[in-house]
Amino acid sequence: MSIIYEPKGKAREYSPLAANFYSGCDHKCRYCYAPTIQFKSREDYAVVSPRPNIVSLFEAGARKISNCQKQILFNFMGDPYCHANRQYKITRQCLEIALKHKLPIAILTKGGERCLADLDLFRKFGKHIKVGATLTFFDPEKSAEWENGAALPGSRIMTLKTLHENGIKTWASFEPVIEPEESLKMIKATLRYCDEYKVGKLNNFGGLDKKIDWTAFLKEAVSILRASKKRFYIKKDLREAAPSIELSELETTADLHCITPWTKNH
């Protein structure tokens, strides 16, 4: 099986293709589903190691689809800029391979400023890369409670600002939405630095999702984003939870938000 694969189900809303570099994640997010589906305790899942032969396997997969027009997301399982990546630097090696084979890349991380170690490579991709942050809480104490090992909100915001100032396309993922007011604060706090938003909801977590007025949340989020003339995509689960909110084709078609592919001559 290729390291570069087509996601299924809800994951497909994020990207046509994806790649995962690490086993485990040291961000220790309370809501993470990965330990459960991998039959691991949260403590065991927090021990991170590179997937076996990951760089050579990614090289082989990239060679097969060289100049591919489909966006590849780094990563679904785990985080490309987890703490362990400082030691292993797998993400940088795979970025270099993707650049060599002219593959359009989307990065999503909760690692904050850790990703800036690869800013020089992001610049080389030009318009063929976008770098994003998962945003949950504006309050740093709540963030630390729910995402113990991830970068704090201020770090994630400053990272988007730095990327934006360096001409890198930026984006934000709002999923899960645990406290709508916190998510709305983060949307407002990033409007100057974020080019694109993907907004979802919280699903099946201790019944918390059943207590949220998703229609009110989506109405406010859409109002803020449209007023700021931001591109955004609303995930299917949130659309279904708030069916009275009218949305456009751009706001409901995931692949319209993929990064620009390379051309044969560029």
Find the CATH number of the domain harbouring 136.
3.20.20.70
Q: Answer yes or no: is 124 within a domain.
A: yes
In a domain, 264, yes or no: no
Q: Over the Cα atoms of the chain, what is R_g?
A: 18
What's the pLDDT at 2? 78
243 lies in a domain?
A: yes
pLDDT for res 19: 97
CA distance 230 to 246: 16
* Residue 240: alpha-carbon gap to chain centroid: 22
Q: Is residue 92 part of a domain?
A: yes
Q: Give residue 4's pLDDT band: very low, low, confident or very high (50, 70, 90).
A: very high
**Inside any domain, residue 184:** yes
Answer yes or no: is 245 within a domain: yes
Q: Is residue 4 part of a domain?
A: no
Q: What is the pLDDT of residue 38?
A: 83
Asked if the structure places residue 86 within a domain, the reply is yes
Angle (deg, nearest 10), helices 180-190 and 153-165: 30
pLDDT at 264: 56
Check residue 227 and give its pLDDT.
98
Name residues whose C-beta falls within 8 Å of residue 148's C-beta, 6 or more positions apart in sequence: 27, 28, 29, 30
Question: In terms of residue numbers, what domain contains 135?
Answer: 9-257
Amino acid (1-letter code) at residue 71: Q
pLDDT digit string, tens, across residues 123-156 = 999 999 999 999 999 999 999 999 999 999 999 9
Give the chain's mean pLDDT.
Answer: 95
Q: How many domains does the chain have?
A: 1
Q: Virtual CA dihedral for 264, 168, 97, 8, nearest 10 degrees?
A: -90
Instruction: Give tens-digit pLDDT for 175-231.
Output: 999 999 999 999 999 999 999 999 999 988 888 999 999 999 999 999 999 999 999
**Quick one: which of 173, 193, 154, 180 has its CA closest to 234?**
173
